[in-house]
Structure 1
Amino acid sequence: MELDQEAIELTRELVRIDSSDPGAYEGEIQEFIRAWLLERIERLRPELAGRAEVSLEQIEPLAGRKCLRARIVPAAKGEALLPELVLLSHMDTVTLGEGWSKDTPALGAVVRDGRLWGRGSCDMKGGMACAMLAFDDALGAVANDLAPRRALSFVATCDEEDFMRGSDAAIRAGWLDGSQWVLDTEPTDGYVRMAHKGRTWFEMGFSGVTAHASTPWMGADAVAATACAIDAIRREVGELPEDDELGKTTVTFGQVQGGYRPYVVPDSCTTWIDMRLAPPCTPRDAQDIVEHAIALAEGEVPGTHGSLKVTGDRPAIPSHADSPLLAKMRAATLEVCGSAAETKTFTGYTDSAVVAGTCENPNCASYGPGSLEVAHKPNEFVPLEDLARVRSVFRRLVLDCLE
């Protein structure tokens, strides 16, 4: 497959803009995307009249951090329309981080060895560039006499790399719902990915009593209680049954903060817990496991008291083999690549999974250039041939759906 210079150059422009979260956030990149889309919409607006209504709007879920939607809606009234197709991309990246090679800096967008290097190149500015170009392809097709039978949206969100408050806000605004076909552009290694483990976050705290380390019986060790609780949680999670598609439920204790001097019995400790849930484990089951562990720890270390706060709660999402969106994706990849894309699970959690879980939408999936294995790492890259493949697949998908 020939390289796609438009996809390469647009990805380079996006990578050069720092949209790290935490860090610069999405202000500059949102303005770039808005201006890019507005120029194309206004240039073609006279030719679009009578066939489609085109809009460009934004919402502000967080101070100074906006989401953007560009939309093509068929002008025909009174005709039954097909489900809307949504191309969904997030604008933020993880922090730039350390460890980048001198030849491929984080914001350099260097093209070398068949790859485009830089923070967000695969997660997910390469995919976003392909989606933006597909939207432009749709504008051109409608301007050139195609009468669309389906609405098409390109939605760019904020905050995906943190609490996903951008996609939540887009749902509240009615931009995303249960009736649409929603395709996010995360890196998927050539697969269509639908299934996700659930993601539940906890903040577990223990309070105790301070004492000198030489007389520990005079205090109550909050760190020791935390250790007991962590051990109990690990054992209970390890005993949970495995799901045929999503595998085992897992737990990670990402941060633990407690104590202030090595010679003092610690009177407080806080732990942040990430649990990835596979059926039949539900968010309620996960909370029960942690609450049970807290009770055990309080008994093991008298004088300590535990607390629990749920800081994130996303349900598991299964695959849907009968999804019409999946059928369209398989047809588009067959035409472009010579073989239909297979399905696999997604190891993280995506904006489309938020839509699937919140809106009970079975037509949500991920497909984009690059590999999740290099995302969030130094020397992140996207293969140039992946950009060409996904740009072509998105063009075929969009035109097939509009026709």
Structure 2
Amino acid sequence: MTDVVELTRELIRIDSVGGGEAAVAEPLARRLEAAGFEVRAHAYAPGRTGVVARWGTGVPVTLTGHLDTVPLGGQDWTYGPHAAEVDGDRLYGRGSSDMKAGVAALVVAAERHARGPAHRTALEIVLTVGEETGCEGAIDMIAQGLVGRSRGLLVAEPTANRALLGHKGALWLKVIAQGRTAHGSMPHLGDNAVYKLARAVGAVEHFDFGLPAHPWLGAPSVNVGTVHGGINVNSVPDLAEATVDMRTVTGQDHAELRERLRKELGGETSLEVLTDLPAVWTDPDDPFVRALLAAGASPPGDHPAASYFTDASVLTTACGAPPIVICGPGEPEQAHVTDEYCEIPRIEKAVEIYAGALALLAP
């Protein structure tokens, strides 16, 4: 096995489902320090440590990935989820595609770059915690002032080594209706929160974003994901809540969007923000994109945007709105599934892509 594959296996063997990222960060920080990086730990919570590592002078290129993984699900795994088993060209385990292979590849590429010829572009490695639960680690990193300006942001999320140019934003909201409880046989003495919420949910279904579809990101969308209300069948409910998932495109102001939705829902409900992540998009002709393609990344093709959101939504402002490319060795369709795997040749190829692109960029 090559070094990057063995590193990926080492990371998969560490259980970081919904936490425990400190154990994943430790060997990566150690390797980056040995390669000459200045390493800073990001202590988000006990056992949940991220890494920011800097090498060189000047405005850096930023390589980023997350260290947490999602739960295993209820189905049995054919291959142990943390055994890092190899079968043919496939490496199995939770996080193999999403996204410990990408993290391993960017760290090995960073080592290669730092130990290469002189006059190399500066690098910043940002390894986050809590991405799967709303980019919590990246948000806290920025609040602590750990992330600086960048000339390009590479996100190693699973794309099968395609260079994707952006993704939609995510605005998740809770719609809250309040009323007054009473016995179910005397509803006139109460104020039914479920009825209020039902009227609001109907308004959400017909919400008009009022703008055309983005040429590549597509049209914004809205979905009511959950509805909860009441405590038992024979009581008038005094509280009802629904969650709303809005996916937005570049140019949409989330604060304005929330206000428009609030007015559309009327005065019977209130809104609470759960997640607020803007869309990101990069011009296909940007030199950062061209460098990655020249180094061997697959072109974006007819669907150049990721279907998921990434830490780029959070990092872009702190980094000074640099060009952003999402490109990682994982298989997008394998993210979060039972018997998750990554193709080993793609992991090795990702190192070549990252290191090659960095070598093509002027210092």
- TM-score, structure 2 as length reference: 0.90
Point out the structure with the larger helix share.
1
Contact 2:207 2:261 (8 Å CA) reproduced: no
Q: Paired residue for 1:123?
A: 98
Q: Does 1:160 align with 2:131?
A: yes
Contact 2:165 2:284 (8 Å CA) reproduced: no
Q: How does 1:135-154 map to 2 (within 5 A)?
A: 135-141=110-116, 146-154=117-125
Q: Paired residue for 1:25?
A: 20
Shift of 1:347: 1.7
Select 1:55's aligned residue among 27, 38, 62.
38
Select 1:217's aligned residue among 188, 192, 197.
188
Cα distance in 1, alignment partners of residues 347 and 130 from structure 2: 24
SS at 1:264 equivalent: coil
Q: Does 1:66 align with 2:49?
A: yes
Q: Paired residue for 1:85?
A: 61
Shift of 1:360: 4.5
Contact 1:190 1:341 (8 Å CA) reproduced: no
Shift of 1:63: 4.5
> Structure 1 residues 360 and 194, CA, compared in 2 at 3 Å: closer, same or farther?
farther
Q: Paired residue for 2:199?
A: 228
Contact 2:204 2:224 (8 Å CA) reproduced: no
Q: Quote the sequence identity (%).
A: 30
Contact 1:314 1:357 (8 Å CA) reproduced: no
Cα distance in 2, alignment partners of residues 347 and 358 from structure 1: 23
What is the identity, as a one-letter code, of the residue corresponding to 1:252? N
Q: Paired residue for 1:242?
A: 213
Q: Please list the CA deviations of residues 60-116 of structure 1 after superposition, one character each: whole Å capped at 9, or x if unmatched.
A: 234442221232215xxxxxx5x4122111111122332142x21321212124211
Contact 1:237 1:250 (8 Å CA) reproduced: no
Q: Report the aligned-residue RMSD.
A: 2.5
Contact 1:330 1:341 (8 Å CA) reproduced: no
Cα distance in 2, alignment partners of residues 373 and 277 from structure 1: 22
Shift of 1:238: 7.5
Q: Does 1:326 align with 2:289?
A: yes
Contact 1:171 1:355 (8 Å CA) reproduced: yes
Shift of 1:279: 5.0
Cα distance in 1, alignment partners of residues 275 and 362 from structure 2: 37
Shift of 1:373: 2.2
Cα distance in 2, alignment partners of residues 237 and 105 from structure 1: 46
> Structure 1 residues 348 and 257, CA, compared in 2 at 3 Å: closer, same or farther?
same
Q: Paired residue for 2:72?
A: 96
Q: Please list the CA deviations of residues 349-368 of structure 1 after superposition, one character each: whole Å capped at 9, or x if unmatched.
A: 11223222554513121100
Cα distance in 1, alignment partners of residues 44 and 54 from structure 2: 19
Q: Paired residue for 1:352?
A: 312
Contact 1:177 1:355 (8 Å CA) reproduced: no
Contact 2:282 2:323 (8 Å CA) reproduced: no
Shift of 1:214: 3.2
Cα distance in 2, alignment partners of residues 322 and 278 from structure 1: 20
Q: Paired residue for 1:399?
A: 359
Structure 2 unaligned residues grouped into runs of 5+: none
Contact 1:100 1:106 (8 Å CA) reproduced: no
- TM-score, structure 1 as length reference: 0.81
Q: Paired residue for 2:225?
A: 254
Q: Paired residue for 1:366?
A: 326
SS at 2:166 equivalent: strand
What is the identity, as a one-letter code, of the residue corresponding to 1:88? T
Cα distance in 2, alignment partners of residues 69 and 400 from structure 1: 23
> Structure 1 residues 239 and 174, CA, compared in 2 at 3 Å: closer, same or farther?
closer
Structure 1 unaligned residues grouped into runs of 5+: 46-53, 75-80, 299-304
Contact 1:199 1:316 (8 Å CA) reproduced: yes
Q: Does 1:312 align with 2:287?
A: no
Q: How does 1:270-309 map to 2 (within 5 A)?
A: 270-278=241-249, 281-295=252-266, 305-309=268-272
Shift of 1:119: 1.1
Q: Mean alpha-carbon deviation: is it higher for 160-169 or for 258-267?
A: 160-169
What is the identity, as a one-letter code, of the residue corresponding to 2:245? D
Q: Paired residue for 1:77?
A: none
Select 2:81's aligned residue among 106, 116, 119.
106
> Structure 1 residues 85 and 279, CA, compared in 2 at 3 Å: closer, same or farther?
closer
Cα distance in 2, alignment partners of residues 309 and 63 from structure 1: 28
Q: Mean alpha-carbon deviation: is it higher for 125-134 or for 364-373?
A: 364-373
> Structure 1 residues 139 and 17, CA, compared in 2 at 3 Å: closer, same or farther?
same
Larger radius of gyration: 1
